[in-house]
Structure 1
Amino acid sequence: MIRTIIIFIIITMFVISCQKQESKEFVGKQDNKTSEERINLFKDAAIMINGIPYYKEDILNFVYFNFPETSDMDLSNDNLTSLYLDEFINFKVLLEEAVKNNIKIDDVRFEEIVKNIKNLSDESYVISLPISFEKYKKLFKENLIVKEWVNRLIEKNIVVTEDEVKSKYNEFITRYKSSVRYHVLHIVTLNYKDAKKARLELLRGKKFSEVAKKYSVGPEKDDGGDLGNIVLDDMPKVFQFIKKLKVNRISPIYKSDYGYHIFKVVGKVRKENKSYDVLKPRIYQELFTSKVDKFLNNHLKELRKNADIKIYDFNLNITNSDNSSENN
């Protein structure tokens, strides 16, 4: 039955506010079953991770919770379903590690948050998911546990030093030196005769835009020959003559492989690199994000390498991952 489920957008704030208490393990456990029942149960499993079976419903609930816009068509797309399965495995190995490290969530506080979520059914961020509210609660709490564990891993393992930020800043200013941007008007003709006529009309005071539309064959002719603000280092060799021109003066005629050129500089703006203090927060965040991504990727590879992962056929078009196929 489809129930109204709310995606709670302040999960991180809740995780920080949670106090420690005894937590319940969310890694699936088997109850007391006979050997035959257990074998049949495993046969029905879609995937098994470290001896714990998970079923098609488990994976679909995970997908609906974490990818709420997933459609039936998406679930028949091999590339997408392979991604979903990969994310499911990553989540479960992290969850298992979090539980082993005694990550706890305050159940009382959690129930209060869930109650508030249920009461906000008329808000704009309410969506309908094909998942029961109880299963939603379970997935919600598991996500909080994993997020808390990941935050602790990051806090323990990720450090960005002042020297690293300064080094990155120095690379930046070396690569992007201060430059002058020239606001340039441009006419290019295919022959010297037209260029000479155009320049003469400009010297007599005719508007550059009118002359450009009349004589120029360049793509900017429809804009009256206006190239806007340009950096000359990015332009063909003939444009380097612009550096010698005075503002609002009509240039001589310059010849290139493209034709005959007339320029008029109407403004210059020097673009300076921003100071270290201005760029420091941005550089720090880029370094931090890069380190986090690299660390988590390596950490997940190690977890999956040491995990016993088996994938079975379960009619969802989710293909085996590299790690799982190795463990089959």
Structure 2
Amino acid sequence: MKRLGFLVFALFVSYGIVNAAEVIDKPIAVVNGEHILKSEYSKIAEPIIEQYRLVTPKAEFTEEKLKELKIKVLDQMIDDKLILQEANKQKIRAFKKDIEDGVNQIKKRFKTDEEFKSELKKEGLTEEKFTKRIEDQLKQIKLIDSEIKAKVAVPKDESVKALFEDIKSAIDGKELKEKTEEEKKNIDTLSKMIQREYGEKVKAKHILIRSSKDDAMTDQIAAKKKIEEIQAKLKKDAEFEDLAKEYSEDTGSADKGGDLGTFGKGEMVKEFDDVVFAMQLGDISGIIKSEFGYHIVKLEGKEIGRKLTYDSIKAYLADFLRQKDAEKLYSQWLKELRAKAAITTNPIE
């Protein structure tokens, strides 16, 4: 389930000890009498906020969005606390071997035992506390399995077939009628994933000069001039790969001569897709403008798509429907846990 990724992530960022001289620790929430301290919250929230800052366009990184993110992090910590409390209430136990396996799985991420212990020390954890954290998470997972996973029914064939027909309609560009916005969003996401797997694929290289509508006008003009100069060099038979290494501002592909690898429709922005999938093998495009800036693309290869049939994806669609049912059941179960709990929170700074 979605929350399990958060549990694993929390192993090395939660429950660390913060120097009392630096932070005056106080509860940021109280859940059935158990405190969530400000230091615990900071250990979780700070790396998540930093990651969000790195991947979010500046125009979208607002104080309101930041506040929403902070509240979501605290809500997740409250949920974790409630689930562990419920697991203890039901006397759920984690087997010793499972705990040892969990500890060893984390240890394998480190080259040496000394490196592992150093990380524990940096996070203010002893091996005993770390092992207890693994044990608690295993108890939470066992509780979720018994309360949610075991109670979710296998989807009926007609439901799976109906979803398949909706996906085919979405791929064909037909309007989806009598669907909620959430259903439309799920179908759109699934259709794009399936189209990437079964549809036509291309292999391409590109040169990117970054430019945003939020940039100063002088910077936008300079970016356009730069890509035009690169285009002129290509017309004089300069090597595409050499120009990509020298000028491209896509740090993920520049060193590889602009190589983007193989991708399907929907994996790139629409402006990029529309041009690339209409190109012929060996073609070099004109200048393409997208939200990332200016591109020039070279088509390196094409793969014909596979025929999409119901039998080929029915197991995947059934799993998807079962997962959605599990998410609804999980959300309702959490609401019930919260309704029975005594929860108080303090303002998040």
| TM-score relative to the length of structure 1 | 0.45
Q: Which has the larger radius of gyration?
A: 1
Q: Greater relative contact order (Cα 8 A, min sep 6): structure 1 or 2?
A: 1
More helix by share: 2
| TM-score relative to the length of structure 2 | 0.43
